[in-house]
């Protein structure tokens, strides 16, 4: 795509600047993914930047809307750097694919094997993962006292890797990883098991995993408006279990509604969305973000 892609990104940045009613933006960020037109992330970042007096533009770089193939992810990241972007947030389905074109990874991103934040600094493309910290902070805030003996996690993609890392750091005794692609689940279980002493394993029977688990986490896209449904039969749930879903649009997924009806403690994806954005904003700007303010920005962006 080359120069034409750089030109496209420059034009999109200029158009966004004009729509915002000014030309003083100093920080330009993009969100890269598929099906992201309803994302609240741009509004959350831009409102926090205004609160701090920072000129800031946040663009949606939606591969579905732009008509780009997945293979263009490397070209787009390179073009964004040339076009003067300060960084990118990376979401589904590129959190793992983006790694191959980056110059350096943070220790956490390297351990997880996925990035959701890219910072362009000093001629280098730096990869970070703020998802893991975001999930952990959200969980600690809302799920105090939740049993962590055994957890079943659905999804072994980039988000699943970040959540698995967070769960193990929080002291989960045993983690079952389940995915529609068994090889992907095995790879994640092997990598996390090596880091955390073999307490991570795949489990071939979703029903058995749910029955055995104290808590269940959904990191798959199932439950989004584009992918309705639940990742497993919710009739397997019982009231003493807790259920977390990292999806935040919609806030109340079918899984969480069913779990709450049964009597389970539940955790929606909104907290993770806010916390990961706090850390990403700080990486992009070098300024301290206010989590409470960004939570308010998140709601205002609905």
Contact 117, 141 (CB under 8 A): no
Structure tokens at 174: 């045993």
The model carries a pTM of 0.93
Q: Please give the class, per CATH, of domain 2-129+272-300.
A: alpha beta
Domain boundaries, the chain: 2-129+272-300, 132-268
Q: Which one is the CATH code of 132-268: 3.40.920.10, 3.40.50.720, 3.30.470.20, 3.40.190.10?
A: 3.40.50.720
* Residues 87, 81: Cα–Cα separation, whole Å: 8
- Burial bucket for residue 19 (CB in 10 Å: 0-12, 13-18, 19+): exposed
- pLDDT of the chain, 302 residues: tens digit per residue: 557 999 999 999 888 875 554 445 589 999 999 999 989 999 999 999 999 999 999 999 999 999 999 999 999 999 999 999 999 999 999 999 999 999 999 999 999 999 999 999 999 999 999 999 999 999 999 999 999 999 999 999 999 999 999 999 999 999 999 999 999 999 999 999 999 998 999 998 999 999 999 999 999 999 998 899 999 999 999 999 999 999 998 989 999 999 999 999 999 999 999 999 999 999 999 999 999 999 999 988 77
Least Cα distance to 218 among 267, 153, 268 occurs for 153
* Residues 86, 171: Cα–Cα separation, whole Å: 35
Partnered with residue 31 across adjacent β-strands are 60, 89
- Candidate list 17, 26, 95, 288, residue with the active-site label: 95
Contact 176, 207 (CB under 8 A): no
Long-range contacts, 260-269 (Cβ 8 Å, 24+):
262/234, 262/237, 262/238, 263/239, 264/237, 264/238, 264/239, 264/240, 265/143, 265/146, 266/242, 267/138, 267/139, 267/142, 267/143, 267/242, 267/243, 269/245
Is 226 known to be catalytic?
A: no
* Residues 87, 26: Cα–Cα separation, whole Å: 12
- Decide if 2-129+272-300 and 132-268 have a common fold: yes
């Amino acid at each position: 795509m080359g120069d034409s892609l750089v030109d496209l990104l420059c034009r999109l940045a200029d158009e966004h600047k004009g729509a915002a009613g000014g030309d003083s933006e100093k920080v330009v960020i993009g969100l890269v993914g598929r099906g992201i037109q309803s994302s609240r992330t741009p509004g959350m970042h831009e409102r926090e930047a205004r609160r701090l007096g920072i000129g800031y533009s946040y663009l949606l770089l939606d591969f579905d809307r732009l008509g780009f193939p997945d293979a263009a992810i490397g070209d787009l990241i390179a073009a964004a750097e040339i076009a003067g972007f300060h960084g990118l947030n990376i979401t589904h389905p590129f959190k793992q694919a983006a790694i191959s074109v980056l110059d350096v990874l943070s220790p956490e991103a390297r351990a997880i094997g996925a990035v959701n934040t890219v910072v362009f600094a000093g001629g280098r493309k730096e990869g970070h993962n703020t998802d893991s910290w975001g999930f952990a902070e959200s969980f600690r805030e809302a799920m105090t006292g939740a049993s962590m003996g055994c957890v079943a996690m659905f999804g072994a993609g980039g988000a699943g890797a970040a959540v698995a890392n967070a769960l193990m750091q929080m002291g989960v005794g045993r983690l079952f990883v389940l995915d529609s692609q068994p090889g992907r689940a095995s790879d994640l279980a092997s990598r996390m098991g090596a880091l955390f002493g073999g307490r991570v394993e795949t489990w071939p029977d979703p029903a058995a995993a749910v029955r055995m688990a104290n808590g269940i986490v959904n990191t798959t896209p199932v439950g989004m408006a584009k992918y309705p449904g639940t990742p497993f039969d919710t009739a397997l749930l019982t009231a003493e279990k807790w259920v977390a879903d990292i999806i935040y649009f919609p806030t109340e997924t079918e899984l969480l509604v069913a779990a709450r009806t049964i009597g389970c403690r539940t955790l929606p994806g909104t907290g993770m969305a806010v916390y990961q954005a706090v850390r990403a904003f700080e990486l992009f700007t070098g300024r301290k973000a206010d989590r409470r303010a960004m939570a308010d920005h998140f709601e205002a962006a609905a």
